[in-house]
Amino acid sequence: MSDWREALYLTCAGVLKGDRSMIGQLRDAGFECCEAAWSFRLPTLHQWLAGQADTAAYATFLKQLYAGDLNARLAALGGQIVIAKQRGKVSESLYRLQRRP
């Protein structure tokens, strides 16, 4: 299996490019997703990625996610991940992949 960070990047890239197959897979998995927009909570993202690639335990996953360069890589594609709804706790907040303004 591949690394979850690369799987996440490729998924985000597919959404930003409007890959209908990728968007359909995410919708089938219960995510709110359309061209250039994908909303998720981190526990759900972690669980979904576990089915796609090798993932660490949730606490390690969070550390690696925040220490990574995903937003910098997505910026090159015109995208970013933002906090859509702050819920006071990282695991309860809603995050969204979107195009950069």
User: To the nearest whole number, what is the mean pLDDT of the chain?
Assistant: 94
How far apart (Å, rounded) are the C-alpha atoms in residues 65 and 27? 22
Q: At residue 2, does pLDDT exceed 70?
A: no
Residue 54 is predicted with a pLDDT of 86
Q: How many residues are there in the chain?
A: 101
pLDDT tens for each residue of 51-99: 888 888 999 999 999 999 999 999 999 999 999 999 999 999 999 999 9
Q: Tell me the per-residue pLDDT of 11-31, one tens digit each, with 9 for 90 and over.
A: 999 999 999 999 999 999 999
Q: Collapsing DSSP states into helix, strand and coil, what is residue 6?
A: helix
Range of the domain at 19: 4-99
- For the chain, how many structural domains are there in total? 1
Per-residue pLDDT reduced to its tens digit, 26-52: 999 999 999 999 999 999 999 999 988
Contact call for residues 26 and 11 (beta carbons, < 8 A): yes
CB-based burial label for 40 (10 Å; 0-12, 13-18, 19+): buried
